[in-house]
Each structure stands twice: as structure tokens, then as C-alpha cells.
Chain A
Amino acid sequence: MPGKSRRDFLKTTAVIGAGVAGLSSSTAKAAPKNILSEDRMGVLVDTTVCVGCRNCEWACKTAHDLPAGELHSYEDRSVFTEKRRPGTKALTVVNEYSSGKNSNLPLDVKVQCMHCDHPACVSACIVGAFSKEENGSVIWDTDKCIGCRYCMAACPFQVPAFEYDKAINPSIMKCDFCFNRTKEGKLPACVAICPVEALTYGTRTELVKIARERIKRNPDKYVDHIFGEYEVGGTAWMYLSSKDFSELDFPKLGTNPAPGVSESIQHGIFAYFVPPVSLYALLGGIMWISKHRKELDEEGKL
């Protein structure tokens, strides 16, 4: 059966392909970027502790050379009348929401890049300008970026911002988890300045344990949900709250990594170039046969 032998051939090719894949993926694991380190760091944000002083906003701008103004100007609480988003002028912002269960105090939510364990931006970026670093931060490389803004379309939290007003070298702006500070052993600027310890910096595994402990000790205070533990496959920044997260403008997301489906399609189409090369061979075959049939027909007529 010609059909069967062809299928067998394809099967063999697939097996060889898988073998090659096994080899190449084991070598790829040696690279330090875009792999998940066991001791990657994270931050636990306790929205019930945060008082909305917005010192973190000032510290962040100062650490990233953005115009920050005076620290005391951040005492102005009128900004809470509207919900703000991180952008090109501020990589993190705090929004205030009405109180949750068993409390009269408002909830304050700091917003910034979540530093996903399986970031959509890293997967999407056409030139690989984004990378998930060993310490857990997702950072952007200005030397590679072409400004296509696919990361913004891909991000499930709608975090990356783009400098639309710049004609030359517009940047993608987002929290970089203070990559340059943590490299020197310093704390992220927002964590360092927080006066009430609403932000806890530590290894992600440790933070999950701490968060579980807090929920267990205060079941009346917290909702039983650590946002970011499982969302889109887990994020480095995680949140505790006394209110359902959908009421705090967190997007409702599944537990599958954001780039999962698109990557499996992408790798399926390519699968070590087997499908494109087979298609090429198939078309070549059709071309040869149809041409020869034509010639034979013409000979027959003569």
C-alpha cells in the first residue's frame, strides 16, 4: 500500500524529529534566560495592609529616572477618585477601592507588571527583546525592540506602555522589578520605601507559604485566594485581599500560561521544519507529475 508506506515514512521522520528535539531542548536548558529558577524572587502585596501613601510611586519614578516631584505631593488622595493605570510616566500606581469584609478601611491596590512565570510578552516579542531572568524579573532590552507593540496586544494584564509621543526611539515602559537594584543586592525601590510592609519581597515559594499562613490565621479577614499563585501559570507578584479580586479590577484569567496555545500552534506548524519541507516536496511532486502528464498527452496527440 503506497498510502501506508508514506504514513510510515512520516512516522519515522517524526520520531527522528522528536529525537533531535530532545537533544536540542536539553542543551537549551543550560541558558540562563527564560527558564524558571527554583529560587526566583517575587513580591507579596497585601492590599489590606496598604494605606495608599503612594510612596512607592515616588520611589519607583526616582529609581527609574522619571520626573517624580516632591515626596509630600503624593499625600494628595484626590487621585483616588479615578482608577489609574501604569504607563510611560509611572511604572506603578496605587488605586483605592471600598472596604472588603469585616473592615471599614479602604483597600489599596498597587498595580505594576506581574512578572509572569510564563510571560506572554517574552513569547510574543518578534525580536526576543523581553526575557524572564533568573531572579524572576521580566525585563525589556532597548537595543533589540523595534516598537511593534505586539507585547502590548499579548499581555493578559495590559501592562506594557509605549511612548506614542516620541518620534525617535520610543520605548516600551513597564516595571522591571528594579533589575539594576536587585543585581546589586538592593531591594526593589517600592519594597524598600513601603512604610507599612504591605510589600513582602522573597523567593516565590516562600511567599506562597507566607500568604497561605496569613489566610489560615485570619480566615475572616482574607478571601481564600492568592491572586497570581496560579493565574496564567503563576506570577512573581501575588496579591492578598479581603474582597473578590474581580471587584478590584483584576482580570479574570485561567490557570494556563498565556502563550500556551499560540506556542503549541506555532511549534506544531514548524515542528523542526518537517511540515514546510514536506509541503515543498509534495508541491514539487505535483508540479513534476502534472507537467509530465501534459507532455505525455501532447505526445499522444501527435
Chain B
Amino acid sequence: MNHEEINPVPIKHKYFTPGVFILLIIALNGLIFLMGRFFFGLGSVTNLNDQYPWGLWIGVDVAAGVALAAGGFTTAALGHVMHKEEYNAIIRPALLTAMLGYTFVAMGVFVDIGRWYFIWHPLIMWNGSSALFEVGICVMIYMSVLYIEFLPIVTERFIGKVKLPGFLSGLNNFVDKLLRLLDNGLSKTMFIFIIAGVVLSTLHQSSLGTLMVIAGPKMHPLWQTPILPLLFLLSAISVGFPMVIFESLLASRSLGLKPEMHVLSKLGSMIAPILGIYLAFKLGDMFIRESFVYLKEFNTVSVLFSIEILFGVIIPLRMFLSHKVLKSPLFLFIASALVVFGVLLNRINNFVVAYNPPYSTQSYFPSFGEISVTIGFAAILILVYRFIVLNFPVISLPGLRTAQPTKYTIKGAKK
């Protein structure tokens, strides 16, 4: 798996910066509202009611969270399954984003469900006809797979460097041996988990689209279609690489690294065709069902649908076709950010905007508490990401040879 040209290292950079303090405040604010939810019930923090059972937390934390973590399985498919080694440098950051992304999806579910202490029920109480059950089971298994895929990064960090404090130091050799055993076992079996990860992702990314099909006429016809699962899968695949680019450029900016433009440009050149396929299905579906008639009216729904298609798909699609955009970090960032924004808006549209219950007296808008928790979770995710890339070998520095030796040389050197 290791390629000569890439050598991921823990980045040397200080953790605390003014930006980090702002994120800490946002995180703290979210946690305070979260306490309200656990002490006084969902109604005390959210604007949800019997007409609108699902709101921002399901739309953004869960549905958009799963979609935006798609970088994990798309890069795994590209780098490992199709064996394109030139992309190895981005696989680890994408894997970390996916792992953290799914962890926060699970946390989003945990705080949204009324009986959080029964979150394990789907493991033993099965309902095969439920799309939500399928999503739940796949997400649980996939999250475990992501943690397993991340383990080699942990073993690599500690093999040959186990230094337990004080009286535990006697165990150093033993722990080291254990890590080596684990690492050895993992590198022999990893392909099983990698393929499983891709299969599980295609399953639950599409089933997430099936979720709202059962709402039938309660969902606006601009979004309600039997091909929702396909649209969800295609949009998840098309947001995979843009999310990796978006996050890689952000990280290199924040950590003062040189952006890996040679990999990112190549990755960017693959986005336009994928977006094109998504757009074709999205528009084709709209014309077959003749739902475009709803675009003639000027209201929130038609405006949000148009923004989603125009700014989230068509403009970035055009941008990714341009050579100039692919070569410029700034334009590449803007184009990727637009796709990310488009998919985020699409999930919000599907789960919140399109949902129009028959007896609502006023439409739903998320409360300050709901928004606080959502951005609080996002802030914590960024903080944990930062901590991990500073302490574990995730990001590769091109051309840097002075870093730690690769794990294979460590294995060879016997103590």
C-alpha cells in the first residue's frame, strides 16, 4: 500500500490559533444547548412538532453528513480498488474525514432520537422493509470498517515508539509486539474491509434516498421521485472528490503547507463527467415526471431547487471543465466548495424544504438551539481532525524525505 513517493507524517504545527479558539466557543455553545435537549426533551431545544418530526439535525447532521463523508469510499475505490497509486496521498485524509464524518453522523442520530439509550435496538430488532433500518445497519457496519481501515495509521504511529509512562514501561515490548501482530494481520486482510466499505457505502448512500419515498405526496414533487435512491447515490459519488479537494486545500492553508496541486488537479479533472451524469439523471427525471411546471411559480421551493441545480451542479460542472480552474488552487477551491454546498442544500431540500405535511399551521424553521448544536458538532469535528493530523501520520508532505522511515523498514529492524 505504501508508495515510495508518499510519506504521511504528523504535521508539525501548533494546535492553538485564534481560529481554534473561535471553534472552541462555537463547540461549547452547541454543547450547552445539547444539555438542554438531554435534560428537558427534544421540544425544549428544537422547533420540531407532530407535523415536522424531522428537522435540521436529520437533514444536515445525518443526511448531509453521510453524503459529505463520501470522499472516503470514492477515494478508496479509486486508489485501492482501481489501484491508482498516484492518488495515495489523498486517501488517508479522505479516510480520516469519512471516519470522523460518520462518527458525527452517529452522534447526530444519537441526539435526535427520543430514546437515545435504545440506539442499539436496530442491531437485534430487524425490519427488512424499512429503508431506515438498512441505512442504520449499513452506517453502523461501515463506521466499524472505517475504524479498522484507520488502525494501520495508529499502529504505524506507535510501532517502535511505544513509551508507556512510569511502571507501565515494562509492558513496552509487549505492546509493541501486539501492535506489530495487529499491523501484520491488518495488511493481509485489509482488502476485505476496503471492498466491504465501498459496497456498504453504495448501499446506504442510496437507501438514504429511499427514506423519503414513503412520505409520498407529503414531499414536494420537485424532489419526490422513485429514482431518489439513484440520485442520492450519484450525488454522493459526485461530492466525494470535491469534498477531498475542499478539505485538502483548507487543511494545507490552515497548517501552512503547500497544496498538493498535482494530485488535486488530476482528481478535479474527473469531477465534471460524474457531475454530468448526476445532472443528466436529475434533469431527465424532472422532464419525465414533468415536475418542471413547479418552477414556473416563484416561491421558496422553486428558488431553492434552482439554486441547488445552478450553483451546486451546473456552474461547478462548467468550472471543472476549464483547464485554468484545475490549475488554480483558488478556483479549484471555489468549484469544489460549490459542489459541497450543492449537495448540502440538496439534502436540506429533500429532508426539510420538500417535506410539506398536510396539517401544518406554520412551516418549520430550525431554532437557535438546533443551529447551535449543528455548527457546534461541525466545530468539534474540525478540532478533532486538527488534533489527529498533528499527531498521526495522515497528511503526506511531497518531496520530504527526512521524516520517519516507512513502516516496512521498521518491521525489518529487529530489536
Interface residues of A (CB under 8 A from B): 83, 85, 87-88, 120, 123-129, 144-150, 152-154, 156-158, 160-167, 169-170, 249, 251-254, 258-259, 261-263, 265-267, 269-270, 276, 279-280, 283-284, 286-287, 290-291, 293-294
Cα–Cα, bound, A146→B217 (Å): 26
Report whether B126 and A128 are in contact in the complex, using a CB–CB cutoff of 8 Å: yes
Q: Which of B191, B196, B214 has the most CB of A within 10 A?
A: B214
The answer to whether B378 has its CB under 8 Å from any CB of chain A is no
How many A-B pairs fall under 8 Å by CB?
Answer: 189
Cα–Cα, bound, A266→B208 (Å): 11
Report whether A276 and B50 are in contact in the complex, using a CB–CB cutoff of 8 Å: no
**Contacts A263-B129, A266-B207 given; 13 further ones with Cβ under 8 A?**
A123-B214, A126-B122, A126-B130, A147-B114, A147-B115, A148-B109, A149-B54, A150-B132, A158-B51, A158-B357, A262-B131, A266-B131, A269-B210
Residue of chain A at shortest CB distance from B202: A279
The answer to whether B83 has its CB under 8 Å from any CB of chain A is yes
Report whether B229 and A279 are in contact in the complex, using a CB–CB cutoff of 8 Å: no
Report whether A146 and B118 are in contact in the complex, using a CB–CB cutoff of 8 Å: yes
Contact status of A128 and B127, CB under 8 A, knowing A154-B215, A258-B214: yes
The answer to whether B121 has its CB under 8 Å from any CB of chain A is yes
Residues of B contacting A126 in the complex (Cβ-Cβ under 8 angstroms): 121-122, 127, 130, 132-133, 136
**B interface: dominant SS:** helix
Report whether B130 and A123 are in contact in the complex, using a CB–CB cutoff of 8 Å: yes
Contact status of A280 and B136, CB under 8 A, knowing A158-B51, A164-B41: no
- Nearest 3 Cβ contacts at the A-B interface: A147-B114, A164-B43, A149-B53
Cα–Cα, bound, A120→B214 (Å): 7
Cα–Cα, bound, A149→B83 (Å): 42
Q: Can you list 15 A-B pairs with a CB-CB distance of less than 8 A?
A: A126-B132, A127-B126, A129-B125, A144-B121, A145-B115, A147-B114, A148-B112, A148-B114, A164-B41, A254-B217, A269-B210, A269-B229, A270-B134, A279-B199, A283-B199
Contact status of A262 and B198, CB under 8 A, knowing A145-B115, A158-B357: no
Residue of chain A at shortest CB distance from B77: A283
Report whether A85 and B113 are in contact in the complex, using a CB–CB cutoff of 8 Å: no
Report whether B41 and A148 are in contact in the complex, using a CB–CB cutoff of 8 Å: no
Residue of chain A at shortest CB distance from B226: A261
Cα–Cα, bound, A123→B129 (Å): 6
Residues of A contacting B112 in the complex (Cβ-Cβ under 8 angstroms): 148
Residue of chain A at shortest CB distance from B37: A167
Report whether A158 and B358 are in contact in the complex, using a CB–CB cutoff of 8 Å: yes
Residue of chain B at shortest CB distance from A280: B199
Measured CB to CB, the closest approach of chain B to A26, in angstroms, equals 17
Contact status of A125 and B127, CB under 8 A, knowing A165-B43, A170-B41, A261-B226: yes
Q: Which of B44, B130, B198, B210 has the most CB of A within 10 A?
A: B130
Cα–Cα, bound, A126→B120 (Å): 11
Cα–Cα, bound, A276→B42 (Å): 37
Report whether A156 and B80 are in contact in the complex, using a CB–CB cutoff of 8 Å: no
Report whether B212 and A153 are in contact in the complex, using a CB–CB cutoff of 8 Å: yes
Measured CB to CB, the closest approach of chain A to B373, in angstroms, equals 15
Measured CB to CB, the closest approach of chain B to A67, in angstroms, equals 18
Residues of B contacting A265 in the complex (Cβ-Cβ under 8 angstroms): 131, 210, 213, 226, 229
Cα–Cα, bound, A148→B109 (Å): 8
Partner of B218, one of A124, A156, A270: A156
